[in-house]
Structure 1
Amino acid sequence: MTRRNDSSQMKKCLTHQSPGDSSNKADSKVADQKGADSKKAGLGGADSTGADSKKAGLCGADSTGADLIAMGSNEGCLSKPNSTASVLDNVGVNTSDSNKANSSGATSSGASSKEQSSKCKHSQSSYGEATDLGPSSNSGDKLGNLKMLKREPECHMELDTLRPRQNHTVLIDTTKFNDNLLIPHEGKHAWDNNHVKLLPHFPKNEPLSRWQVTEKALQGLIRGSASVKDVEMAIMSYNRAYKKEWTFNALNSYVQQVNKHENNFSTVISKMARLALQLQDQIKHAIPLLKQKHSHAITLSQVQISCLLANAFFCTFPHRNTTKPDSEYASYPTINFSNLFGDSSMRKIQKLRALFHYFNTVTDNETRPDGLVTFERICIPPSQLPCWKTQLETLTDLQVFSEGCIEKEGKGMLQVDFASKYIGGGVLGNGLVQEEILFLLSPELIVARLFTEKLGDNECLKITGTQTYNTISGYSNSFEWQGPYTDNTKRDKWKRRFCQIVAIDALHFRDFREQYTETNVMRELNKAYVGFRRDPSVPLEYTPAIATGNWGCGAFNGDPQLKALIQMMAAAVAKRDMAFFTFGHKGQAQELQKMHHLLKTNKVSVAHLYSLLKNYCDDYNRHKSKSVFDYIKHQTPSSQL
């Protein structure tokens, strides 16, 4: 691997670093995230918050409506972390011409073992305009301190030329892309258990194929005067088995309650139908499923994503209308929009406002997006996870803020999605907490539900390059779409916006006390580490900080103090700094910053902190009247807060 070690650029990177509702229970989210007929125990959606009066924008909380509580610990060690790169790490080292892939798109089948990283040099060049989302130095509570944390594009390793790899499927023609053209890659389609099943390739067993029936129905919506009833009839013409189950009450309510100047329903539906019918022209190669226990990445254009989502709106994806335990896609989230159209609620109406704005944007010639987005499933084998009781690292830098939001003030950092194991949680149902709001701000994230199997304990999903389309306010029942958002975020060499999101799912504790076991603490440590782990091939100076908050708290019953400590420990081993947003909880912010100062001042190692947590958990019944922060303070008497 060759890199340019430019000391002046390195110096620049180092110095220029500016910029629930209680009724929303986790149980009720299970049906949202998988489908109304799949209410498996323990499968909660994204964590909910007790405060729905805050301004939204994923302001760093799952969340918590109460004060800080206690925590738990862990045992057992596997082996030292391995420096093995992730799938992309980032797909494509600078190699000689003889190592270049033969294919111009999709997946290459003979990737060199040296091709571990596509990040090769520092870049100040990008597509697009300058970002305007940097924090103000005099806003909130010391938000100016965010300037101390690294973020992209100020700290960025320029990517190698985009090309497919054995573990990276590229759905656009990379040869044409390097000539500044976005053309779908032409390859082979597959109808099997390893790829997305697309309707045009549905096995023909009737005089008219199912795709021909669908084409005819969607063509009927193009005339520009379609009503909700017309949309319903079109969708039901190729989903007849669900005629007695599906309703369109929410869609009706949206049209009736939202003024015509905003929704212009018939016109947008017409453009969406045209977009959906482009499926065969936009997707010319099989889309792999991102399955459990396998690391793989998919890069596709924003236009391809919009086409797939238009098909999801019109419910054209076969075999994806049920997630019963014995169904083919029981381990995948739903993708067809049928559940969103059902029982009406104000939440669904606001979701439809955001989604129709997205579709109106992507079908307009003036605003159609022209970038790429990468979805990367990362699986770290158990043998390569940290041995927590022997990790000698001390804590990295932490800045805590009671004001500000992950997706705004954390722009350019690794932004944490407080995810459901079924990616997207209840975004296509009634769920409206951190993860769902994130997916409504950037609806391109929803397409991950098409191909991402539920996450395992040692897995995460990283998404790079999505665009923000919507401005919103509120949270849970107070959520409201406010209007369009113009995203001026710069782009990298692959035309992906400098926006990286990592989805990590916390455990759902039905009994609050369950988290205070070594096994459960270790699981959360490993999950956070998998999400936070940096690309081993990229120097620390080029690794942005993490933007996170009360991951796994709220409806998932996580202890905010425990979860904060877990994330600090994982960040320390991953060697990344962290910005922590408490979503308006000033007391929590102050206590957390003090605790970090205590541990940092006393140079407490991850191993020692792990031991303290283990001891606390082992005798939780005796210590339960004392919070984990108080316990640690008591065990560290030499410090001065």
Structure 2
Amino acid sequence: MSTVQNTVYNSCTSTSKKISDRIDMTKPHKNEKEPFLVKVERYASSFRYSGDHVDKKSLDCVRRKKTRIIAIDALCIPGMRQYKAECLLREINKAFCGFYDQSKCQRYMNISQEDHIRPDCHDVATEGLNNEGQNNPTLRESASAVEKSNEGANQAEMIGNCLSEPFGQSLHPEYEVGIVTGNWGCGAFGGDPEIKTIIQWLAASQALRPFILYHTFEEESLQSLEQVSNWILTHEWTVGELWNMLAVYSSQRLKNETSVGFLNWLVPSFSFQSNEMSDPDFMEE
């Protein structure tokens, strides 16, 4: 257990890795949708069962199907507490434990070692944002808040460190396995779907998973998830950069400085910058 905990902690402090380059959304079947059936044939009165379905999924070294069902305990009825730094860290560590791939243990160790020997690993996530956000008051304030929060912060709070290893590189790409998940800890548990989506995406990326297939279950607050995730991927954000923005947002929620969801909070920040940059008056200045 201590080995896993150490691996999780060290990996979560190495967060300049690129975010997983696939996040897909699915919806439950509706009346106009068709289910996928196997081992049936013909139609109407001649419709019949034609034999057992044979799962041809490959096996691991002990002849188990290469599919795992993961159960992760989320915060129960957390309310506003879920926006506190310790709760965010608790949830992302929990998700990372669930998504952790034992076969990549050595890569996690390399990430940890490289993070400790590089002297320039602190606060680069905010530096990466400065180039885009220097003319954007919202981004500038957010980056400043991250920098200030890092002053005197303990190591667990300083998740936005650096590592430049590209995501998805593997010696055995045929063994890469993604994550299928949904609104973990939401619904009856009362979690914020937008926060939990981002936390799981960050955890899957940090765990070197190649993709995350996300079932939104038509959650209204996640309607813009595809748009936002595509924007983030297009701009090649790292895990650390997205984490820092999540931390800034959560801090604002705790202080009642914002009441909008994370996705709507994040997108207008950059939409403002795009509009400002395209303004002829702004360009003349």
Length-normalised TM-score, structure 2: 0.56
1:390-449 Cα deviation digits (max 9, x unpaired): 511222111111136xxxxxxxxxxxxxxxxxxxxxxxxxxxxxxxxxxxxxxxxxxxxx
Larger RCO (CA under 8 A, 6+ residues apart): 2
2:202 aligned to 559, 569, 572, which one?
A: 569
Q: Give the gaps of 5 or more residues in structure 2.
A: 30-50, 106-169, 276-285
Contact kept in structure 2, 1:394 and 1:604, CA below 8 Å: yes
The structural deviation recorded for 1:381 is 2.1
Q: Are residues 1:488 and 2:121 paired? A: no
Partner of 1:612: 245
Secondary structure at 2:104's aligned position in 1? coil
Q: Give the gaps of 5 or more residues in structure 1.
A: 1-292, 295-378, 405-484
- Measured in 1, the distance between the counterparts of 2:206 and 2:243 equals 12
1:298-334 Cα deviation digits (max 9, x unpaired): xxxxxxxxxxxxxxxxxxxxxxxxxxxxxxxxxxxxx
Amino acid aligned to 2:26 = F
2:229 aligned to 590, 596, 599, which one?
A: 596
Contact kept in structure 2, 1:545 and 1:578, CA below 8 Å: yes
The structural deviation recorded for 1:634 is 3.3
Partner of 2:70: 502
Partner of 2:28: 403
Secondary structure at 2:191's aligned position in 1? coil
Partner of 2:268: 634
Relative to structure 1, the CA distance from residue 554 to residue 533 in structure 2 (aligned partners, 3 Å threshold; closer, same or farther) is same
- Measured in 2, the distance between the counterparts of 1:518 and 1:631 equals 18
- Measured in 1, the distance between the counterparts of 2:219 and 2:183 equals 13
Partner of 1:473: none
Which residues in structure 2 correspond to 1:199-214 (within 5 Å)? none
Secondary structure at 2:24's aligned position in 1? strand
1:253-297 Cα deviation digits (max 9, x unpaired): xxxxxxxxxxxxxxxxxxxxxxxxxxxxxxxxxxxxxxxx37xxx
1:490-546 Cα deviation digits (max 9, x unpaired): 35253323332222111113x421101111001111111111122216746121111
- Measured in 1, the distance between the counterparts of 2:66 and 2:7 equals 32
Amino acid aligned to 2:98 = G
Contact kept in structure 2, 1:399 and 1:580, CA below 8 Å: yes
Secondary structure at 1:504's aligned position in 2? coil
Going by fraction, where is helix more abundant, 1 or 2?
Answer: 2
- Measured in 2, the distance between the counterparts of 1:588 and 1:626 equals 10
Contact kept in structure 1, 2:11 and 2:206, CA below 8 Å: no
Going by fraction, where is strand more abundant, 1 or 2?
Answer: 1
Amino acid aligned to 1:402 = K
The structural deviation recorded for 1:383 is 5.9
The structural deviation recorded for 1:547 is 0.6
- Measured in 1, the distance between the counterparts of 2:219 and 2:90 equals 29
The structural deviation recorded for 1:549 is 0.7
Contact kept in structure 1, 2:24 and 2:213, CA below 8 Å: yes
Partner of 1:80: none
- Measured in 2, the distance between the counterparts of 1:543 and 1:611 equals 28
Number of positions where the alignment pairs a residue of Structure 1 with one of Structure 2: 182
The structural deviation recorded for 1:625 is 1.6
Which residues in structure 2 correspond to 1:366-445 (within 5 Å)? 380-382=4-6, 384-386=8-10, 388=12, 390-396=14-20, 397-403=22-28
1:522 aligned to 89, 99, 102, which one?
A: 89
Amino acid aligned to 1:558 = G
Q: Which has the larger radius of gyration?
A: 1
The structural deviation recorded for 1:636 is 2.9
Relative to structure 1, the CA distance from residue 497 to residue 611 in structure 2 (aligned partners, 3 Å threshold; closer, same or farther) is closer
- Measured in 2, the distance between the counterparts of 1:563 and 1:606 equals 15
- Measured in 1, the distance between the counterparts of 2:220 and 2:172 equals 32
The alignment's C-alpha RMSD in Å is 2.7
The structural deviation recorded for 1:569 is 0.6
